[in-house]
Structure 1
């Protein structure tokens, strides 16, 4: 189900994002750092790093709550330039209620298998729509 949702997001398809792990309250998303995703200084554009964090936070919150969700708000801290071959975002739910989940995410730049933290994010993920709808993690 998670990969199906990702495939219905045109921007995710455009940048070839990959859902590499998903379980209740946890998510890992990855994207290759291509020339098209870099900014003028040669590292991944902050918007791409932010996208990965936002989407990973939403997956973590949605799978923890088992309902359709949207991002209510999130904050990101860029701690170093995202230089490498690939970006990996790992998010997990920290607090979950019926109406929202607060989640955290670390984004790493990967070069030759070595990960370096490039950003940290936290967000509030809010329940969307019909209270009777459920989200499956399969």
Structure 2
């Protein structure tokens, strides 16, 4: 279990320049999972109007890392992850919800569902899984 508070976790996210650039926000950070949200703006869409796959991937990667960090309770990095895009990402907000599948002493396998949210509700647009690894010290 994490020794990092929700407030500190939010500060960690805000220390990432790209996260600030796209308006990402950590809205949940708890033992049952984490949730990262960001507004869908024209600047993050690709040529067909969908949220760019790289931004969907960013949301998954960061949510996976925060979930793994919560479980491992120390500085972590993503050592690998994969993503499956299941529908075009359309809507007003993107939500990445991640949780731990299994955690050991130095690694956690995590899963993330990424949703697009609009006035009609939410739709699953991607699923991801990754391995999060503790590092000796932040760099």
**Quick check: TM above 0.5?**
yes
Query: Runs (4+) of structure 1 moved beyond 2 Å?
Result: none
Contact kept in structure 2, 1:25 and 1:64, CA below 8 Å: no
| Structure 1 runs not aligned, ≥5 long | 134-138
Q: TM-score normalised to the size of structure 2?
A: 0.91
Residue 24 of structure 1: aligned partner: 31
Contact 1:25 / 1:62 at 8 angstroms: preserved in 2?
A: no
What is the Cα deviation at residue 111 of structure 1?
A: 1.0
Q: For the aligned residues, what is the CA RMSD?
A: 1.2
State the secondary structure of the residue aligned to 2:64: helix
In the TM superposition, residue 40 of structure 1 has moved relative to its aligned partner by: 0.1
> How far is 1:62 from its partner?
0.4
Q: How many residues align?
A: 131
Q: TM-score, normalised by structure 1?
A: 0.92
Give yes or no for the alignment of 1:5 onto 2:12.
Answer: yes
* Whole-angstrom distance in 2 between the partners of 1:126 and 1:85: 32
Matches of 1:122 and 1:39 in 2, distance apart? 24
Counterpart check, 1:75 vs 2:77: no
State whether residues 25 and 61 of structure 1, in contact with CA within 8 Å, keep that contact through their aligned partners in structure 2.
no
